[in-house]
Amino acid sequence: MKFEKSLANWFRNAREKHRSWLTAFYIFLGLTVVLNIFIRPHHPHFVYDYLPGFFAVFGLVAAIILGRVSKGTAHTFLGKDEDYYERD
């Protein structure tokens, strides 16, 4: 299938240029925080709605915490000894 080959090539190229993608995403995130300084909510409901970039920082911190907690629980509950399946 032609579509599958072109999609595979696109993913291969994207993987090779991962630094460019990462840079583009960081620029986009930074731009949204800067735009939040100038574009304010009309009727903020909470005190932290006034802080520029609060929800960007909140989302980043929440994602890091969730990643760390899930990795820790996975190692605790799902981790097996090295010879777990070879015991008699």
For residue 45, being part of any structural domain is answered with yes
The residue that leads in pLDDT, 20 or 80, is 20
Distance of alpha carbon 52 from alpha carbon 34, whole angstroms: 8
Residue 88 has pLDDT above 70, yes or no: no
Tokens coding 1: 């299938």
The answer to pTM > 0.75 is no
For residue 84, being part of any structural domain is answered with no
Residue-range definition of the domain harbouring residue 74: 2-78
Residue 65 has pLDDT above 90, yes or no: yes
Question: How distant is the alpha carbon of residue 20 from its chain centre?
Answer: 16
What proportions of the chain, in percent to the nearest 5, are helix, strand and coil? Answer: 75, 0, 25
For residue 10, being part of any structural domain is answered with yes
For residue 82, what pLDDT band results from cuts at 50, 70 and 90? confident
For residue 46, what pLDDT band results from cuts at 50, 70 and 90? confident
For residue 57, being part of any structural domain is answered with yes
For residue 20, being part of any structural domain is answered with yes
Q: pLDDT value at position 62? A: 94
Q: pLDDT value at position 1? A: 65
